[in-house]
A and B are shown apart, each in its own frame.
Chain A
Amino acid sequence: MIWCARCGGALSNRGADRGADRGTDRGTDRGAAPAVDGDAPPAVDGDAAPAAARGGHEACAAALALEPPRFCPRCRRRMKVQVLPTGWVATCVEHGRTQG
């Protein structure tokens, strides 16, 4: 499974995680808010997933042009993000730093 870096919703399924098929987004279609910093968030019923998570995340992709990623695309943990004048650094407690 790959997770949307903006809303934390399911982005695509590589077939490795059956549980992820059920939908795992935890917020509105304007962005999800995890309950616990850095912890793997709990799964919720697929019907509760926002439209963006059920669709192609076009709005998220557009928004990411002006936002740093907030969720780790590998594990969906909420990352610590430092925005700098000419870039950003995002840190996942499990998967380390990415920057752009």
Chain B
Amino acid sequence: MPSSAVTASGQPGPVSNDQTFGAYARGLWSRLLAGQSGVLPVILGVILIGIIFQSQNPRFLSPENLVNLLVQGSVFMLIGMGQVFVLLLGEIDLSLGFVAGIGATVMVLLVTYAFGWPWWAAILAALAVTAAIGAVQGTLITRLRLPSFVVTLAGLLGLQGVMIQLLGTGGTIPVPDEMINNLANGTLTPMMGWILTAAAIAVYAVVTIVRHLRRHRSGLVTPPAGLTALKILAAIVAGVTLVVICNVDRGSVRFPFNGMPWVIPIVFGVLVMWSLLLGRTRFGRYIYAIGGNAEAARRAGISLPRIRTMAFVLAGMTAGIGGIIYASRLRSISTSFDGGTIVLYVVATAVIVGTSLFGGRGHPLHAVLGGVVIAAIVNGMALLGLPAAIQLMATAVVLLAAITVDVVIRRRGETTR
């Protein structure tokens, strides 16, 4: 509550405080110049990548390839959403690749005939194990104040060893459970795709409209009503486009094959859940606060070790989901799983879209969009038949270009101190 001394002259704002479109556009433009460009540059980048590859190979933007690309990127997106929690604190978790590998291994082992667990129990156990790994590493980092880089580097090495140990001499274990294989390979019926998408858009529309009306009624600065309508329209267009692309027959004449892959709602669900957690709860606010200024957070009475450890737990668990999808996509898990490379790609996905390595800035959406970018580049260059050497160098250039644009734009917006 404001102190009573202050309320005497404190005036609530005028009854209606709606911005006009012009005012909103000017505000948006000044935010862009100030470096708060959000995800706009990346969306432009994706369009540019699309144009380049499409002009070289018309199959790039075919529905078949686009769906394939999303599925390819899903593992990066999921592990990346875990990494965002840690990056927001200004820490890094190099072990997440092999944490995902451990999650996949635990799940696959438990559903094999030796154990014979049902698919859901195996998944829960895998997530519990990955969360526990996060808890152990997080505790070492926050309670003993060890640097996260070193602790998780040890995790990267040690967990690869554990994974090889668990997989045994054979080195490859196939997934005998259809349900688990379907997570990445299964598709919804076209009708189900429509229903789910319509439901998601409806929820988004209702939430957006309610929030707009509430702000409008309480006299807070409200973006123009037309913008709210525009946002909902954009969501509808995006949703319909996605379903139409997914529902095009991408099989052969003899084996028609269409529908939205299960991974799309899975990634979307995790994205919504973590966005809510980070954006709308105290826990999320404290993650950002610690990343922005840990001393200020401490003085505000926030328990730093608790929040930090929790972030590592969530990172491990989210990486576990990514590992499960990985095993599902390959219908097996093997010692050839390269968690070291995966984790570096995962850091790249988040950073390309604007998550800071120094903490305080980032969003799970960055990991998802970054996953699209990385998958598009890898997929596009594979379509063009470029050798691996060129692919790696080109990926590096894109990463450097993205981070340069991000840093240069953003630096303009901060006042020098």
A and B from one complex: no
Chain B residues within CB distance 8 Å of chain A: none
